Structure 1
Amino acid sequence: MQYALTILTYLFDMFILTTFLMNTLHHFKKRYAPLYLCVLVGCECCLYGCEVLNSHFPTIQSEITATLISLGTTFILCLFFTSSLKAKLYVVLLFQILASLGEAIFTFLFTKLNPDFYAENDTAFLYSVMNIGSKVVLFILCLLMSLLFRKQTPAHSLEYKFLILSTPIISIIIYVCLPLQHLFLIDNILFYELLIFCLVLLNIINYILIQKEYASTTLKYTNAQMEDQIRFQKEKYEQLSESYRQSRRIIHDLKKQYFCINEYVDNKEYDKLKTFTSEAVRDIESTYSKYNTGNLVIDSFLTNYDTLAAKNHIQFVAKLGVTYNRIPVNDYDLCVILGNMLDNCLKACIANPSSENFIHIAIATTENDKFTIHCENTTAEGTSLEHIHASRQNSLYHGYGLTNIRNTAEKYHGFFTYSVETLFYMDLMIPIIEKSKRIMH
């Protein structure tokens, strides 16, 4: 029993020391993690040897030697972090102070509550009990230091600090009070009621902490998704900006071209004029928007993805019946819809090894006051809705755009559906509600 208690004590000490260093120093050198573990075990063996000698030969010299070895081993472990030398020395001294304070606090509590315990047990067992008890108090003190001074993570609430400290505090209460059972002989039930109460309280606190950690993890996951979507939207707006800049450049160049044409006509230099106009036409064809509905979002996205599809040997066909001033969706939300739709289509086709990939999209504002988008594309063989749903659960971003499309459609009282047969189909319908944009009244 004594050996098991000793092993448990030193494993706990390794955990406490590593946790304390991780929380107070900056940037652990992960590439040296195996070496760190070996050094940590070696340091604990040195400390165990010193404590065994100290228990058999309790002198001032042995106490000083054990303290210096403890300081030295802690400093060696600090070398696995990138913090400054000053910070490392500060952490070494702080940990030694906390260790001494933990031992003093536990010794004081134990001697006050159990004055007969020393006389009733052998020295080795007593030393083991005092050692693990002091480690529990040290753990509480290290938690306090970490929660109060840690700068690597956002500040925790007072409630969280209280909850996380409650577990070791209640543990030390149980540990200190267990030998006091003889004081409750008159009413032994009371002792066990107090013990059960402490254990139940520990379970409740741990449950609350787990729930808070779950909520925090969920929030981080959601934020990561939002950051990905913001990045995606930024890319789409950059595409719009580039399309706008190209349009402005064409307009600016046209002024110069008209001036040159007039010069050639006035000078009757028709051969030069013919060469010039041929070059101007080629330049316009290389930069103009292939699609011209009057809506910048639709025109730029279709032009951009048409180009991307051509580079990847994907057939791209767009059928348009859009009256630009009847579209019931603002430009931002239209970016969400079209950007995610076309992006999913392109990725699905690129992932499909077939040489006959295609993307077909139809956008229209209908006579019965509806804004519709129908999209279909080839996809890898064996793709199913179950496969898509599983991918959405197992990946941070894949498939998340489909949810954004649906949410945007529902925002405008419309709907969005998708299905997989031999092809992947997407359909969106949004009613045109604004009276000025309606045909049917």
Structure 2
Amino acid sequence: MGEMVKFTLTILIWAALELLNIGILFKHVLILKRKKNNIVSVIIEILLIIAILSTYAYCSWNNYKTMELIITPLIFVKSAILMRSFFYLKWRHVAFIAFFVELASFTGLNFRLITPFIGWNDTNGYVYEVIGELILLALLVFVIFLRKKSIIQFWIAELPVVDFLIFTVLLFFLSIWEAVAYLTEKRPFSLYVFFAVIVVCTLATIIRTIIITRKNNSLTYINSLLEEHMQQATDYYNQLIEQENQTKKFRHDIKNILIALHSMVKENQNDKALLYIEDLNEVCEQLKPRYNTGNFIADAILSAKDTRAAMQNINISFDGYIPSEKVKDVDMVIVLSNMLDNAIEACEKITGKKDIEIRSILQKKMWVLYIKNPSEEVNIINKNHIVTTKQEKMLHGFGLNNIERVAQKYNGNMQLAYKEGYFSSKITFIFD
């Protein structure tokens, strides 16, 4: 009985480490949006996981192979049962969990294959599952450290469900094959070489798929970026055409206006002439640009975005001065357009007062652009990344990434904040 308790505890420790690793993956790799959890629901799910693990341990200990095989699929997704109380999960995330469960198991099994060479062996196979999870934990900590230093990026999170399922099945059957070979009494050295080749080929296939996915995502990113810039250019061009048409119309009518005024004054119809001049002043006011920031491109961008915002009863206010020479036009378009698009999109999702406040502070060698808008709650990571609610996370994130890239180009930075129902973004440019 004591050995069975030890066996069961080993499985529980393995499951706890797996939950820890999956939690780290969800928080730092997938960066999923968290949800408010119900304590009763969490307790029920924990008890359900314990029941699954206890049943699995009992069947495994007593060599009930059929029941063990039936429960095995639940072992692959047991962490998803609990994680669904903390994160918004989709089928892709469940497949993601199954893949990493098998990856940890595969790592532990391969560690077991080398233990005869170091003179250590344990009959409890789940000890190696624990070791596999510990190895994966160490790798995760190291990789996340590199990511925070901007040395690497995660692309495996972008793989589709099918790829995760293929990798999981591939590793699963490879693990079975290795286990059968391990139980063979006579194992020639060539068998170990064969195993090594299979493992390397499997990992190479996985890495190659990740690289292909990265290239596809990069192409999608570039295409979307070009489409957005083309749309922005079209909007500003249409805005300028509209202003030019209004100006031409006014110039065409000015001669008739002067003739009419001359006639009124000549006939001593001064009151009528004054009313006519007042109406003329109103027309002139309408022709004046809505924004006068000091930067022609910024004026066009603000006018175009203001038109879009007005359709949603969103008010945009601007205060300050925007440099006209120190920032390239294309960089101005990227920064101001994306910031305003994000602010308008946030306002569209809420009810109540919708005011977007823009402040521009220009000094001799520094320009600070600040935008504040009401918003739903936003989870901000490291002051410059947000957890998006959009399905295409990467495509949504490239706007902020481009803003940050432009700011860094001018030796500046981007800072995001959320407080009391308001989201704010602050972009700083440092000029030489």
TM-score (norm 2): 0.49
Bigger CA radius of gyration? 1
